[in-house]
Amino acid sequence: MSTGFTEPAKSNPSGFFAEAKKHLGQNFLHEKGVIDKIVQAIDPKPGDAIVEIGPGQGALTFPLLRRHGEVTAIEFDRDLHAPLQAAAREHGTLRLIEGDVLGVDFSKLAAALGVEKIRLAGNLPYNLSSPILFHALDHAAAIRDMHFMLQKEVVERMAAGPGSKVYGRLSVMLQAYCTVTPLFVVPPGAFRPAPKVDSAVVRLVPKPLERIEVQDRAVFANVVRAAFGQRRKTLRNALNGVADGASIEAAGLRPDARAEQVEVAGFAKLANLLAPG
Ligand code: SAM
């Protein structure tokens, strides 16, 4: 009989609090071997401020708490907040930020946690992977490293180099600011419910400022977006209105080349030439 009140979420026999919500990209990890490998890859050290995106039902959070004692986690799903907090208590100190990760200013969070840089981790909601990656890039100076589970195909795009079919805007934007290292592939069966595709864990380490070649981030982003917006076109055509043939040549690039042949440094050079001042 319904009481008219919302029942608090309970653990079910599978150890999960509630049914997964597809629209929130909920695919909960349950494979211990995979979870252990992620924690080992992160390898938390005393004093590290570990920030997890999308703790869900704690698959990664609890092992991280047992290993490190303290974790800050950002979870959007309100139904998970109370059960997650309650279940976390026996493992360590969980600071739960209840809301959308895209609204969290990582630079302010680092300051609030009393560190120069946070360490981000998470099995990301796949429908939001790109926005989360770009959001993290905006705060890269406040991030020491990131360990993310993503669709394998996305990790391949992130790490691809020129000449690869999957080299594109995501590869160039991330590699301009971070070292991208794919770590290992995770099969669908490691999650409940199982996604349709393979996943992979990737490590991103933001480059120190002196190693970033881009002078003006907005101009760079604009050049890269235009160049790959029409990837079959030559640079001269794709960049029409953004850069003329002379600037493309001045950057050491061939106007008849296509974006997928241009190295990250080439885009940086061109954007630097176009940047004001
Ligand atoms: N870490 C858990 C695990 O490995 O089992 C859950 C991973 S699940 C793929 C993604 C998690 O991100 C879910 O808990 C989901 O509710 C949460 N999420 C979805 N959108 C979010 C957002 N905008 N901000 C914060 N968390 C979000």
The pLDDT of residue 14: 45
Give me the half-sphere count of Cα atoms (radius 13 Å) on the Cβ side of residue 34: 21
Residue 158 and residue 171 in contact, taking contact as beta carbons nearer than 8 Å: yes
- Determine the pLDDT at residue 7: 37
pLDDT of residue 188 exceeding 60, the answer is yes
Which tokens in the block code for residue 272?
């630097």
**CA 274 – CA 277 distance, rounded (Å):** 9
Q: What is the mean pLDDT of residues 262-268?
A: 97
Report the distance separating Cα 152 and Cα 128, nearest Å: 15
Domain ranges of the chain: 22-209, 217-274
DSSP 163-224: TSTT-SHHHHHHHHHEEEEEEEEE-GGGEESPPSS-EEEEEEEEPPGGG---S-HHHHHHHH
Whose CA is closest to atom 22 on ligand 1? 100
CA 22 to chain centre: 19
Length reported for the chain: 277
The pLDDT score that the predictor gives to residue 15 is 58
Q: Which residues pair with 200 in a beta bridge?
A: 150, 185
**How far does the centroid of ligand 1 lie from the alpha carbon of residue 40, in Å?**
21
Closest CA to 29 of 66, 67, 61: 61
Q: Which CATH number fits domain 217-274: 1.10.8.100, 1.10.3720.10, 3.40.50.10150, 1.10.357.140?
A: 1.10.8.100
What tens digit of pLDDT does each residue of 124-145 get? 999 999 999 999 999 999 999 9
Average pLDDT over residues 264-275: 96
What residues does ligand 1 touch, defined as CB less than 6 Å away?
Answer: 24-29, 53-57, 59-60, 74-77, 100-102, 123, 125, 128
CATH of the domain spanning 22-209: 3.40.50.150
133 alpha-carbon distance from chain centroid: 4
Ligand 1 mean position, distance from CA 90 (Å) = 21
For ligand 1, atom 20, name the residue with the nearest CA: 24
Ligand 1 atom with least separation from CA of 29 = 5
Report how far ligand 1's centroid is from the alpha carbon of 27 (Å). 8
- Within this chain, domains 22-209 and 217-274 share the same CATH topology: no
Q: Report the separation in Å between the CA atom of 99 and the middle of ligand 1, taken as the mean of its atom positions.
A: 11
Rounded to the nearest 10°, the torsion over CA 100, 38, 134, 116 is 80
Which pLDDT does position 219 carry in this prediction? 97
Alpha carbon 123 to chain centroid, angstroms:
9
